[in-house]
Amino acid sequence: MFSEQAAPTAQGLLAPPSVEPPTFPRVPVLGYSDCSQPFQLGERSFSRQYAHIYAVRLAGMRPGLERRARSRWGSDVALRKLSELQAGEKCCVVGTLFKAMQLQPSILQEISEEHNLVPQPPLPKYIQPSDELILEDELQRIKLEGAIDVQRLVTGTILAVYGAEQDDGRFLVEDHCFADLPPPLPWNGPSSDRFVLLASGLGLGSVSGEALLSTQLLVDVVTGQLGAEGEQSCAAQITRVILAGNLLSQNTQSRDTINKAKYLTKKTQAASVEAVKMLDEILLQLCTSVPVDVMPGEFDPTNYTLPQQPLHRCMLPLASAYATLRLVTNPYQANLDGVRFLGTSGQNISDIFKYSSMDDYLEILEWTLLAGHISPTAPDTLGCYPFYKSDPFILTECPHVYFCGNAPHFQSKLLQGKEGQRVLLVTVPDFSATQTACLVNLRDLTCQPITFSGFGADSED
Amino acid sequence: VTYKWLSYTLGVHVNQAKQMLYDYVERKRKENSGAQLHVTYLVAGNLLQNGHVCHKVAVVREDKLEAMKSKLSTIASVHVYSIQKALLKDSSPLYNTDYDIVKTNLEHCSKFSAIRCAAAVPRTPPEPRAPAATQSPQRQRDPDAAGAVNGHGPPAAKPAPQQHKGIMGMFAAKAAAKPQDTHKEAKAEAKEAPGVSAASSKPPIKNNIMNNFFGKAAMNKLKVNSVPEQPKEEKEVVKPSVAVAEPDSSPNTVAEKPGKKTEPARIQQKDKKSKTKRADRSDDEEERDPENVKKKRKRIKQLQSDSSDEEDVPPSPTPEEERAPSPPPAPALKTELEPASTEGSAGGRKRKRKRVLKSKMFIDEEEGCMGKTG
């Protein structure tokens, strides 16, 4: 992307100083509107049970699923509730999935005295062949078996199954379907090249020095200090930078202070304080040149449950002075120049990764889009706020760019839907590990990774 | 010596710095003076990696330059990154140099960059809100207003330039240096010449530049105000403020001459900044707020109600009064406020003193850290 445009003047700076070098104005933001109001929590009360969120989820997705079921299995297919099932009758049932997993970490087992169990260490995947799927609707539940991939599905998904009830009380599934892609949004994309830089996992506060240079190089490219003139003019077309979570590294999550005695920890500062100061400086450099949206992630100082609220601006005193800094929620949805972005910092995808046999982050990302829900495993295995009026994670409109942060590598795919939806799926890699960020071109919905590197002691590229 | 370090130290555009480094290297090499120079380059281009075309940006040593260039399918840019006498083992000294120089220049970090962003303007710090202050304005409206305006006049003059420096620092990506300087001079002159009208214009300026944040809040507060009772006066006050406001809000070097042409610009700007259809005066009043605001730059909204309520009252006798006390040339803000408080009416004095105290506390705290309001 950059390279083709920049190539002609590539060697321009290998020359004696010229007269006043050009400065390029940053392309102005044409249209930006933040659509993440559903993810912003007002007053939070945790006194409610989580059953309500499942109820509203089912109620919210039921109409769409019934439509899909009709279109797939014929408009005369019998749609039944579990309580109305008759043995042997072929019908379609819409309900929530529950996967009974043996290895699922359960707090009740941990604190149970009679078992005397040591808490289970975190495993990369908790799936086992003996897992079972159970379908629940508002009143009853029934075990599922048949043509359904037990390993692949996760708890909390709303789906429609077509089959018949057996004599022994199980439901034999012949076919199933998800909500599929939500209805498309009109496309108002820009006509000229505009880029959005997606980066995640900056991982400040860790001890790695190499990553710091790469971060600085990233900032320099975006603010236009690095690169020859061609590259700088291309960088001027970056309209926005979205930092998708994990700005601080896992090392800053030191919990020792809780366990140690107070007198030992008096003079020590949490590691995150230094890291946040560094983050503030980096953000300041970015903000003076480009609008930045900062999403919190798993290791960032904000609440743990989804939806994570924006970082507080008091933590970033220098950068908050600029109107170009926007602290946003995780998940985040916004209209940038007519293109709808929706994305998370990756906790939902990594959670599904743990409880499903799907290994590829891009595949999981696509699957959540097809299932019509950003994070089905919340609140079962992922922390979530007890919503009761409506579930904000249900996808009602199809975004144009759907991303997730902190993935192990960069992947992207353009998905075409039946109703004309075009979605660019991007898994944004963890910057501290891969030194890669993504550039999304808003004009034609393409994405290009951009890597940075310095030279280390081993001097290999 | 990295290009960024050179750019900040010499105050030149980054591209020029890069070219300077290259030039130096070439000349030194031609001279063959025997001093070994090690150069690192920045290479950027397209690279086929893992099946996608990936844009790679890398800092490489000179000996690896050709190898890197051959790896890239298209080269987007090559330039000198740094020069040093010793061979670098890894890139951390480069990072450290850059980090240090940027840290010392945090306010102007985009000044020498090749990209200017028009949207990156520091916003007004939010008005501090003191619950206590809200009562006092209501109690002593008129005298307060008079005293307040009075008090604001001279302090506005002094804090204006100082704060302007600070604000100037925060300005990014503008050729802000020049307009700011002229602006400051303009202000200094204006101070002497038309007296307080110019002085009070300074806070307005600041306010105009800084932003809606506070603007909107203050506006809402002032909603209860009656429309200009002395539109004439306001216009006067407003005009110079407009004039001075101009340079700050947009990089035009507008003279401090109150001109009709600035007014439409200002109104435009006002409309831009504050979406309410405010009368000039409320803008003016709100401008007094920022004085206090500026003093306590990053305060929580404490004094807002305080100041804005004060300014509710039309500044009737103020212009004349304000002219009388010429801003004492005391550099310190504190001393500034003291004489300001002594001038003016009694009721206002009481008010001002309270306000002064508050401000003082803020100033003290401001020097230290972002503490709580007094």
Does any domain span residue A459?
Answer: no
The pLDDT of residue B116 is: 62
The pLDDT of residue A371 is: 87
**Measured distance CA(B48)–CA(A371) in Å, rounded:** 34
Pick the last residue of a domain from A135, A150, A177: A177
Mutation choice for A interface testing from B117, B210, B212 by most A CBs within 10 A: B117
The stretches of A166-316 forming alpha helices (DSSP H) are 210-223, 229-235, 256-259, 271-287
The pLDDT of residue B319 is: 42
Same domain, A37 and A75: no
The pLDDT of residue A455 is: 65
CB atoms within 10 A of CB A123: 10
Contact partners, residue A413, CB within 8 Å, separation at least 6: A362, A366, A424, A425
The pLDDT of residue B118 is: 60
**Measured distance CA(B200)–CA(A288) in Å, rounded:** 29
CB atoms within 10 A of CB B301: 18
- pLDDT 10s digits, A291-301: 888 888 888 88
- pLDDT 10s digits, A7-55: 445 455 555 555 555 666 666 665 677 777 777 777 777 788 888 888 8
Cα separations in angstroms, A371 against A65, A161, A374: 10, 13, 8
The pLDDT of residue A28 is: 64
* Residue A85 distance to chain B (closest CA, Å): 51
B174 versus A394: which is more confidently predicted?
A394
The pLDDT of residue B81 is: 80
Inter-chain CB proximity A450 and B54 less than 8 Å: yes
Does any domain span residue A101?
Answer: yes
Q: Does A129 contact B at CB distance below 8 Å?
A: no
The pLDDT of residue A179 is: 83
Same domain, A69 and A204: no
A428 versus B49: which is more confidently predicted?
A428
Same domain, A63 and A168: yes
The pLDDT of residue A394 is: 86
Contact partners, residue A147, CB within 8 Å, separation at least 6: A173, A174, A175, A176
Pick the last residue of a domain from A132, A159, A177: A177
State the distance between the two ends of chain B, measured CA to CA, in whole angstroms: 46
Inter-chain CB proximity A227 and B7 less than 8 Å: no
Is 50 exceeded by the pLDDT of residue A380?
A: yes
The pLDDT of residue A248 is: 79
Does any domain span residue A259?
Answer: no
Inter-chain CB proximity A230 and B77 less than 8 Å: yes
Inter-chain CB proximity A17 and B19 less than 8 Å: yes
Inter-chain CB proximity A3 and B80 less than 8 Å: no
Cα separations in angstroms, B177 against A318, B109, B165, B174, B206: 20, 13, 10, 8, 16
The pLDDT of residue A235 is: 74
Inter-chain CB proximity A26 and B125 less than 8 Å: no
Inter-chain CB proximity B79 and A14 less than 8 Å: yes
Residue B87 with chain A: CB contacts under 8 Å:
none
We report the CATH number of the domain holding residue A154 as 2.40.50.430
A380 versus A255: which is more confidently predicted?
A380
Per-residue pLDDT, averaged over A359-371, amounts to: 88
Same domain, A154 and A37: no
Same domain, A289 and A145: no
8 Å CB contact between B145 and B310? yes
Instruction: Give the closest of A24, A228, A285 to B77, CB-based.
Output: A228
Same domain, A213 and A339: yes
Instruction: Give the closest of B4, B116, B121 to A25, CB-based.
Output: B116
Same domain, A169 and A193: no
Residue B15 with chain A: CB contacts under 8 Å:
13, 18, 21-22, 228-229, 232
The pLDDT of residue B233 is: 42
Does any domain span residue A272?
Answer: yes
Mutation choice for A interface testing from B16, B27, B41, B57 by most A CBs within 10 A: B57
- Peptide bond before A379: cis, by omega within 30 degrees of 0? yes
Which parts of chain B register pLDDT below 50?
Answer: 126-299, 301-350, 352, 359, 362-374
- pLDDT 10s digits, A61-110: 888 888 888 888 887 777 888 888 888 888 888 888 888 887 777 777 66
The pLDDT of residue B185 is: 40
Residue A314 with chain B: CB contacts under 8 Å:
370
Same domain, A103 and A196: no
Number of domains in chain A: 2
- pLDDT 10s digits, A102-134: 777 777 766 665 666 666 667 778 777 888 888
Q: What is the mean pLDDT of chain A?
A: 79
Contact partners, residue A135, CB within 8 Å, separation at least 6: A82, A93, A95, A96, A97, A98, A141, A142, A143, A144, A161, A171
**Measured distance CA(A130)–CA(A232) in Å, rounded:** 56
8 Å CB contact between A358 and A412? no
Same domain, A415 and A351: yes
The pLDDT of residue B204 is: 43
Instruction: Give the closest of B44, B55, B71 to A448, CB-based.
Output: B55
Q: Does A414 contact B at CB distance below 8 Å?
A: no
**Measured distance CA(A127)–CA(A150) in Å, rounded:** 10
Query: Which of 303-362 (B) contact A at CB < 8 A?
Result: none
Same domain, A391 and A281: yes
We report the CATH number of the domain holding residue A314 as 3.60.21.50
The pLDDT of residue B226 is: 40
* Residue A358 distance to chain B (closest CA, Å): 21
ipTM: 0.71
Q: Sign of the C-alpha dihedral, residues B363, B364, B368, B372?
A: negative
Q: Using CA coordinates, name the residue in chain A closest to B81.
A: A226
Residue B68 with chain A: CB contacts under 8 Å:
461
Query: Which of 171-210 (A) contact B at CB < 8 A?
Result: 209-210
pLDDT band at A269 (very low <50, low <70, confident <90, very high): low
- pLDDT 10s digits, B109-135: 566 665 666 665 666 554 444 443 333
Distance of CA B67 to the CA centre of its chain: 46
The pLDDT of residue B306 is: 44
Phi–psi pair at B217, nearest 5 degrees: -60, -45
Structural domain range at position A310: 32-43+183-254+268-370+381-451
Task: Out of A96-105, A201-210, A331-340, B154-163, pick the least confident.
Answer: B154-163
Does any domain span residue A375?
Answer: no
Tokens of A342: 């929706």
Same domain, A61 and A135: yes
Contact partners, residue A358, CB within 8 Å, separation at least 6: A152, A352, A364, A367
Domains of chain B, start order: 3-104 (3.90.1030.20)
The pLDDT of residue A267 is: 63
Burial B304-343 (b: 16+ CB within 10 A, else e): bbbbbbbbbbbbebbbebbeebebeeeeebeebbbbbbeb
- pLDDT 10s digits, A138-197: 888 888 888 888 888 888 888 888 888 888 888 888 888 888 888 887 877 777 778 888
**Measured distance CA(A257)–CA(A266) in Å, rounded:** 9
Does any domain span residue A366?
Answer: yes
Distance of CA B134 to the CA centre of its chain: 28
The pLDDT of residue A145 is: 85
The pLDDT of residue B267 is: 42
Burial of B26 (0-12, 13-18, 19+ CB in 10 A): middle
Does any domain span residue A261?
Answer: no
The pLDDT of residue B303 is: 45
- pLDDT 10s digits, A306-316: 888 888 888 88
Same domain, A342 and A217: yes
Residue A234 with chain B: CB contacts under 8 Å:
76
